[in-house]
Structure 1
Amino acid sequence: MHSLRARLTLVNVALLALGIVAAAAVSLMGMRHYVLANVDTQLATSRESLERMGFTMKQIEYLSELGVALDKLSPGSGDTKGLPSADSVFVAVGPAGKPLAIGTLEPTARQRALADAVDDPAALAASGDPHDVTLGGTPYRAVGARLKDGTTVLLATSTESLHSGIKKALKLDAAFGVVLLGLLAVLTMLAAHHRLRPLEDMVETASAIAEGDLTRRVPSRPDAVTETEQLRVALNSMLHQVESAFETRERSEDRLRRFVADASHELRTPLSAIRGYLQLYDKGMLADPEERTRAWGRVNAETDRMSRLVDELLTLARLDQRPELRLRDVDLSRLVREAADDLRAQDPLRPLTVHADGPLLVRADESGLRKVLGNLITNVRVHTPPSTPVTLEAERTAGSVRLRVTDEGPGLTPEDATRIFDRFFRTGGGAGSGLGLAIVRAVVTAHGGEVAVRTAPGAGLAVVVTLPVGGEGIGGPPAPGPL
């Protein structure tokens, strides 16, 4: 009874039952009204004839004698509880409402019953409206008429056939209604089972997904109604989003585990070196001043390395939170020329070519762009020989600006090129923390831009950064502190 099919069936059956009851009531009331109208018309015609034709008492006596004689010829005329089934009754009554004996003929039981059934014959005659009376358990319609000499007569016609017909019609309607209700219940159950099959498919799909099958989808049906098909499409779209979100979460968790493992590994090396030198110093094994100086130098170097690694990790963590950038108009050409000056100061023997003439404004976070340029140049210095030529370029394209840092170094294999922006990735286990290019990509992504590489073994490496001029696509919840 709690299923949707059962409730739909109950609702349909209840509505049909109400309709059948209403239709039967209207039809029976109409039939009763029509038959009673015919009976009342006949009684009214007889009443008007009696009053209009002005019958004399002799005529009334003759009619009464004839009526009594006919009444007595019927079986059971002396039993008021089992009166004969005559259709019409005629009786004359006195002022007290008692039936009058006409001549030698006494009123019959039916005539007495009619006189007793009418409380005020004079009032009935004066009103002229038919009234319902019961004679020996049989329903009648009665009217009164006043003759020319003041005598009151009562006329009654049986309506038993009407009530019998109504009972038969009611039984027929009830039987037919029961058959219709049963047929409707069966058809509704079958139709509901067929129409609700897509919902059962959805339940099966949801159960399968709850058991771990995230690839399960609700199958389509050719005869599905519009609302069910819309629900199926929406549910499949939601399941696709859930599956994508679950896969993204798994990838994020996997990246986080690798990130934590790599960070732990990178921090373990300087910490181990610092701990080793401190133990040597604590045990007095660094008695020679030169050895102490060299040890303290190594401790400071490892401390600086660990400090840079922590700073880079904090920078990546902030970028992962999509920080609110401090945007303003920045001259990218000026930043490129300043980065070139820094490279000349740090590596004066390296051939350097700069193509960044004239102002090239872009709406961006200046500190972030400086970090991008600094990391790209540091990547060139660390991973290429000092004599390797480097080219820095900045140019405007349709709706964006492009920054390109190109070296003519050894280049990368296709496998390494696909992982160059991964965190803690270092080609051949080389120097550096492996976070520089990861920070570059994070900063560029935060600006709504793109970064790509073009490289091949022996063909050098070109890193291309594309940024929107107006900062389109930049947004996200604010994070504390600058990049």
Structure 2
Amino acid sequence: MKVFHPFRHPLRHSFCNRGLHSLRAKLTLANVALLALGIVATTAVSLMGMRYYLLDQVDTELIKMRDSLGSSELTIRKVDSLGALSFVKDKLVPEATDKDRSAPDSIYTAVDDRGRAVGILDVPLTEAQIGLARAAGDAPALAQDTGPHDVTVNGASYRVTAVRLSDGTYILMAASTEALHMGMSKALRLDFAVGGLLLVLLACLTMMSVSRRMRPLEDMVETSSAIAEGDLTRRVPSSHHPTQEVEQLRLALNSMLHQVESAYRTRERSAAQLRRFVGDASHELRTPLSAIRGYLQLYDKGMLSDPAERRRAWDRVLAETDRMGRLVDELLTLARLDQEPQLLLRNVDLSRLVRDAAEDLRVQQPERPISVGADGALLVRADESGLRKVLGNLMGNVRTHTPEDVPVRLGLEREDGVVRLCVEDKGPGLCEEDAARVFDRFFRAGGGAGSGLGLAIVQGVVLAHGGEVAVRTAPGEGLTVTVTLPARTALEA
């Protein structure tokens, strides 16, 4: 059965939503809107230019015609008498077929000073001529104006101008602009058709491009959802053709996820160590407390009547009290080390400390063969009490876990800018599993004696000095503990 997770599905649904509120739709709409504005602006400019150019041609022809008539001393009577002239015949006197034409390309008619159409050569006026006289209106104003005007004659568009003859008659001249408007209308429809096709093509290409470019972001969402479900090992994969910004985001996110995973693992490990530490500390403290409580109860009930028994019980109480005190001191030492204590740094002769530790071990175990390789003086800027504790715990580890006849070697040398302290014994050694946990708190290989805090304190003190500690061991080959202090803390005498 598929289980709904509160993090995974809402994230993917919100990102993969193809509605108007998705980033993919918004980018597409923005591109389409910009192109639409560009098409509209380009179409408007082109139509305005075309209209201006064509109207200028029409107006130029009308103005030339008006100037030619205005420069001659024509009157309406001269026009009647000059009926054989080509202009009068072709322009002012239309053919009979023009009566059937609702929108001729050009119209010429004579009007009097009242604006009424006047016939020429006894030819009846056409509807176009009558309509032109009616639409033109004030002929004197047209004659005085420098340019033609737009008029509508019987539903058709024209450009009209006028010229005054010598006898006061006005000749109206009009040229049709229907072809111009039809051409502009066709151009507009063509622009809109091509523009619409371009918009559809742009929308499709934008959707495809954005989908491909947004794929890394979808991978990031899927990775985040998987991590929210508990898979901390997931990382954002690299795309085939990533953009620089997306690749930088991917690398930053993967780096952050690595840090999150490391922090989570560290927290889990620390929590497990803390639980184990609390349990081990409780167990270690419970043992001496139980022994002390038991002897005190025996003494309280009067069951220790023999002086020898009372003495033995008292010695056991003191021993357990000392053991508990040492355990508490070691725990306090570890707690201070965990809090990064301020060390009292000064020049310390590490060779002298090594020789003192060897002499202490000889006094405690005279039969143990001990060799020391720490001649001369080697000054180290460190906390003397901390280094003494390190050597004391290492010697105590040897004394507790190896027989008294096992040889021990203490070596001290400076090499490659670091100081190395080696404590090597020829004891039974440790297996690989025990060696991996040798610095864990309360860990005792094979359940041996001791509190299990000695090497943990050694590691804490060495780390506080900026150094490191390592072990080399194998079953039957003894144990070698190497303490390394960095060169910045070491000064040769």
Tell me the amino acid that sits aligned with residue 44 of structure 1.
I
> Are 1:178 and 2:202 counterparts?
no
Residue number among 175, 200, 223 corresponding to 1:157 in the alignment: 175
Conservation of the 8 A alpha-carbon contact between 1:89 and 1:155 = yes
Matches within 5 A, 1:309-388: 309-344=327-362, 346-347=364-365, 350-388=368-406
Residue number among 277, 280, 291 corresponding to 2:309 in the alignment: 291
Q: Which residue number in structure 2 is paired with residue 252 of structure 1?
A: 270
Quick one: distance in 2 between partners of 1:146 and 1:326?
Answer: 119
Q: Which residue number in structure 2 is paired with residue 477 of structure 1?
A: none
Conservation of the 8 A alpha-carbon contact between 1:409 and 1:459 = yes
Select between 59-68 and 117-126 the one with higher mean Cα deviation: 59-68
Judging changes above 3 Å, is the alpha-carbon distance between structure 1 residues 324 and 95 closer, same or farther for their aligned structure 2 residues? farther
Matches within 5 A, 1:80-479: 84-100=102-118, 109-118=127-136, 120-148=138-166, 151-344=169-362, 346-347=364-365, 350-457=368-475, 459-471=477-489
User: Residue by residue, what CA displacement relative to the aligned partner does 1:191-237 show, whole Å, maximum 9, x if unpaired?
Assistant: 44344334333333333333333334444443555544444444444
Quick one: distance in 2 between partners of 1:172 and 1:338?
Answer: 103
Judging changes above 3 Å, is the alpha-carbon distance between structure 1 residues 382 and 98 closer, same or farther for their aligned structure 2 residues? same
Conservation of the 8 A alpha-carbon contact between 1:362 and 1:470 = no
Describe the SS at the equivalent of 1:421. Answer: coil
Describe the SS at the equivalent of 1:392. Answer: strand
Superposition TM-score, scaled by structure 2 size: 0.82
Quick one: distance in 1 between partners of 2:124 and 2:382?
Answer: 126
* Paired positions, count: 466
Quick one: distance in 1 between partners of 2:134 and 2:195?
Answer: 42
Tell me the amino acid that sits aligned with residue 466 of structure 1.
T
Judging changes above 3 Å, is the alpha-carbon distance between structure 1 residues 325 and 32 closer, same or farther for their aligned structure 2 residues? farther
User: Residue by residue, what CA displacement relative to the aligned partner does 1:53-100 show, whole Å, maximum 9, x if unpaired?
Assistant: 443443444577875652765347xxxxxx831222223444455545
Q: Which residue number in structure 2 is paired with residue 481 of structure 1?
A: none
Quick one: distance in 2 between partners of 1:60 and 1:287?
Answer: 166
Long gaps (5+) in structure 2? 1-18
User: Residue by residue, what CA displacement relative to the aligned partner does 1:130-169 show, whole Å, maximum 9, x if unpaired?
Assistant: 2222223322112233445565433221111111222222
Residue number among 24, 31, 52 corresponding to 2:50 in the alignment: 31
Judging changes above 3 Å, is the alpha-carbon distance between structure 1 residues 332 and 53 closer, same or farther for their aligned structure 2 residues? farther
CA-CA distance at 1:107 after TM superposition: 5.8
User: Residue by residue, what CA displacement relative to the aligned partner does 1:239-261 show, whole Å, maximum 9, x if unpaired?
Assistant: 44444443333333332222222
Tell me the amino acid that sits aligned with residue 208 of structure 1.
A
Tell me the amino acid that sits aligned with residue 319 of structure 2.
A
Judging changes above 3 Å, is the alpha-carbon distance between structure 1 residues 112 and 237 closer, same or farther for their aligned structure 2 residues? same
Quick one: distance in 2 between partners of 1:94 and 1:308?
Answer: 134
Tell me the amino acid that sits aligned with residue 89 of structure 1.
I
Superposition TM-score, scaled by structure 1 size: 0.84
CA-CA distance at 1:437 after TM superposition: 0.8
Residue number among 33, 36, 41 corresponding to 1:22 in the alignment: 41
Conservation of the 8 A alpha-carbon contact between 2:98 and 2:126 = no
Tell me the amino acid that sits aligned with residue 94 of structure 2.
L
Q: Which residue number in structure 1 is paired with residue 13 of structure 2?
A: none
> Are 1:49 and 2:68 counterparts?
yes
Conservation of the 8 A alpha-carbon contact between 2:75 and 2:169 = no
Conservation of the 8 A alpha-carbon contact between 1:451 and 1:463 = yes
User: Residue by residue, what CA displacement relative to the aligned partner does 1:382-425 show, whole Å, maximum 9, x if unpaired?
Assistant: 23344544433322111111112233444444554343222222
Quick one: distance in 2 between partners of 1:29 and 1:324?
Answer: 85
Residue number among 56, 63, 74 corresponding to 2:98 in the alignment: 74
> Are 1:9 and 2:33 counterparts?
no
Judging changes above 3 Å, is the alpha-carbon distance between structure 1 residues 376 and 157 closer, same or farther for their aligned structure 2 residues? same
Describe the SS at the equivalent of 1:249. Answer: helix
Quick one: distance in 2 between partners of 1:196 and 1:461?
Answer: 58
User: Residue by residue, what CA displacement relative to the aligned partner does 1:32-70 show, whole Å, maximum 9, x if unpaired?
Assistant: 122111101111211221123443443444577875652
Quick one: distance in 1 between partners of 2:403 and 2:409?
Answer: 15
Quick one: distance in 2 between partners of 1:426 and 1:28?
Answer: 95
Root-mean-square deviation (CA, aligned residues, Å) is 3.2
Conservation of the 8 A alpha-carbon contact between 2:99 and 2:127 = no
Quick one: distance in 2 between partners of 1:172 and 1:456?
Answer: 89
Describe the SS at the equivalent of 1:470. Answer: helix
